[in-house]
Amino acid sequence: MTRYVFVYGTLKRGFYNHILLENSEFIGDVVTKNKYPMVNVEEHFPYLINDIGIGHNIIGELFKINDETFTKLDILEGYPDLYTRETIKVISFGIEISAIAYFVKETIEYTNLELMEEYY
């Protein structure tokens, strides 16, 4: 089965975990339809928090993945213990696409943290 995955951190092109997506089809740069809080509590690990309507429309990348890659991403993200995964809407060139996104499972108090729009 083929799925779409929205990536916003170290799985993006040019980052060290992108190797897991190197055989996947890059669809394009996208932005989330809804706003979400994203924080960088640890220096190299942005966390997307599933609080819809707070924060920013998150800028990321969309990939078409197969089952084997999906399994590898679950392992990397520590699903279901460390991350949950939800189907969200992302927008590319005005078109809405459903994609899987990984959200941190841990409760993070983010009200005093800088909310990010994009991870660099």
Q: ∠3-33-69 over CA atoms, to 5°?
A: 20
The one catalytic residue among 42, 43, 77, 118: 77
Q: Is 77 a catalytic residue?
A: yes
Alpha helices, H only, the chain: 67-77
Neighbours of 59 (CB within 10 A): 17
Token pair listed for 44: 């190299």
The C-alpha atoms of residue 52 and residue 26 are separated, in whole angstroms, by 26
Report, as residue numbers or ranges, the catalytic residues: 77
